[in-house]
Amino acid sequence: MTQTIAVIGGTGNEGPGLALRWARSGSYQVIIGSRQLEKAQRVADELNARLGSETIHGMTNPEAAAAADLAVLTVPYNAHAATLESIRAGVHGKILVDVTVPLQPPKVSRVYIPPGGSAAIEAQTLLGEAVRVVAAFQNVSATHLSDPDRPIECDVLVCGDDKEAKIEVIALAEAAGLRGLDAGPLANAVVIEGLTAVLIGINIRYKVKAAGIKITGLEQE
Ligand SMILES: NC(=O)c1ccc[n+]([C@@H]2O[C@H](COP(=O)([O-])OP(=O)(O)OC[C@H]3O[C@@H](n4cnc5c(N)ncnc54)[C@H](OP(=O)(O)O)[C@@H]3O)[C@@H](O)[C@H]2O)c1
C-alpha cells in the first residue's frame, strides 16, 4: 500500500522540494500542510503543475497530519512548539520526521542549542512516546531540493530511537534522491541540527547557496 506523507508547513522553502521529489518518485502520496487551507492548495496546485499530475493535495496542518501515515515537519524553530501542538492528535501512533533547525535570528550562522536539548528532543518530549520522532534532512538546502533533476551533494543523517522508523526515513531520503545514513539515537540530533548553522556560515563566507555534508569512508577498500 502506498504511504501518504504530510509535509507540515510545506508551503515554505524546504517543504515543497521534498514534497515534489517524494511525489515524483511514485512511491508516496503527498499532502502539503499549512495554517491556511487556501495556501496549502495553492502550493499543491503549483507542484502538481510542475509534475504534470494531480498527486499532491493541500490541507490544513491538523487535517494533513491526521490523513497521512507519516508527517514531516518543516517550520521555523519559533513556530515549532505551536505547530506540534496543532498536529498532536493527528500524529498519534505515527512517525514524525523533524527537519527543524533551532536558529536564533539574526545570528543564523551560530549554533543554538534550545532549552530541551535539540528541536527533535523537544518534539519527542511534547508529543510523548506514542509518536516516534526521527530527525532528518536538516542539512539539505532548499535551493537544491527545489530542482528535482539536480543531484544533491549532501547526505541525510538520520537520528532516532526506533530502528524501524529510521529505516522508513532512510527510504524517504532515497526516494528524494539522497543517501540516508543511520546517525544514531535522537540524542545525536543536536549535532545534526547544529551543523546547519555551520553550513549557513560557510554559505555566507564562501558566497555559495547550498553547502552540504558527505560522510566518507563507507565504501569497503
Ligand atoms: N530553507 C532551507 O534551505 C532549510 C534547509 C534545511 C533545514 N531547514 C529547516 O527547515 C525548517 C523550514 O525551513 P523553511 O526555510 O522552509 O521555513 P519557512 O519557509 O520560513 O517556513 C515554512 C512554513 O512554516 C510556516 N510558518 C512560518 N512561520 C510560522 C509561524 N510563526 N507560525 C506557524 N507557522 C509558521 C509557514 O507555513 P504556513 O504559513 O503555510 O502555515 C511557512 O510556509 C526550518 O526549521 C529550517 O531551519 C531549512
**pLDDT tens, position by position, 96-154:** 999 999 999 999 999 999 999 999 999 999 999 999 999 999 999 999 999 999 999 99
- Give the Cα separation of 30 and 209 in Å (integer): 27
In degrees, rounded to 5, the angle at the alpha carbon of residue 144 between the alpha carbons of residues 44 and 178 is 90
User: How far, in Å, is the centroid of ligand 1 from the Cα of 210?
Assistant: 17
Give the residue, out of 8, 74, 137, 203, with the most ligand 1 atoms within 8 A of its beta carbon, to mutate for a pocket test. Answer: 74
Q: Which of 82, 111, 95, 108 has the alpha carbon at shortest distance from 186?
A: 95
Ligand 1 center to 177 CA (angstroms) = 22
Alpha-carbon distance of 152 to 143, in angstroms, equals 10
The amino acid sitting at 70 is L
Give the model's pLDDT for residue 221. 62
12 lines ligand 1 (CB under 6 A): yes
Closest residue by CA, ligand 1 atom 19: 12
Place of cell 533547525: 101
Report how far ligand 1's centroid is from the alpha carbon of 44 (Å).
16
Summarize pLDDT for 14-54 with one digit per residue, the tens.
999 999 999 999 999 999 999 999 999 999 999 999 999 99
